[in-house]
Amino acid sequence: MMVVKMKKIYQSPLPYYDERLHDICALVLHCSTHDADEMVEVLREKQLSSHYIIGLDGKIIQPVDDAKRAWHAGVSRWREMDNLNHYSIGIEISSPSMGQESYRDAQICNLIWLCRRLIRKYRIPPVNVVAHSDVAPQRKPDPGLMFPWQYLADSGVGLWYDLSDAKKVSEDDPAKLLSVIGYNIENISAASYAFCRHFLPQLVEKCSDIKWLLDNVYPSDYVFPLQYINVLKACAYKYSLLKNTKMRSIRSKK
């Protein structure tokens, strides 16, 4: 596991948030083509927000306090959670290619430090460290096919699979397996492609045209390739072992 040192977090407040009604129990990772300071201004113009932004040089900016509900995930669903804004902390990472090219070492190092800090503070379970594309598979492709999910998992952020676990799962229906992991399977093509973005990026088509990528998030006729069913089964096994932390209503505790 890599060693990361204490980082400085710069404050750049945005007013686009509201009060939380639920405990924090998830991290949603995004990317944007803008560098950190520019991204703050873009969010301001769009009247959106994120809790953290990580720039190309690794600079960390915090526009919204953790305790507030930032406006970053939009229409989204993961496991028992509808509208991830209620439950999550959103982290934007600068990527001029929208994740089609590798992220910089400084970014990933600082992201890991930040995520570990938040995971410890809020006891966020590994099953709830997710991509924007995981929670909004029909709408969003970020943080992209080059995002190093396995490296993060090896560093204590999120989960990765052990292929030997596939033999422990008898279920062969991709839809049911995706649902066990946490995906919204109302659109099975979108969910399948989002899974591949996270766990099988070699199956995702690389795209240099960002506008086309944003307008064509997934192939509408995509069918999960059954030659990779063991990867899906191994992931489902791993995710089935770890449940969400109790998602308590903040309002109910008052």
Helices 174-181, 229-241: inter-axial angle, 10-degree rounding: 30
92 flagged as catalytic: yes
Helices (H) and strands (E) in the chain, counts: 9, 10
In this structure, the chain runs to a length of 254
Q: Quick one: which of 200, 185, 186, 187 has its CA closest to 147? A: 200
* Strand 26-32 versus strand 129-131 pairing type: parallel
210-230 residues labelled b (16+ CB within 10 A) or e (exposed): beebeeebbeeebebeeebbb
Range 211-215 contact pairs with CB under 8 angstroms and sequence separation of 24 or more: 213/98, 213/100, 213/141, 214/98, 214/141
Radius of gyration in angstroms for the set of CA atoms belonging to the chain, rounded to a whole number: 17
Q: Which of 38, 41, 92, 101 is catalytic?
A: 92
**Cα separation, 88 vs 99, whole angstroms:** 21
Active-site residue numbers?
A: 92
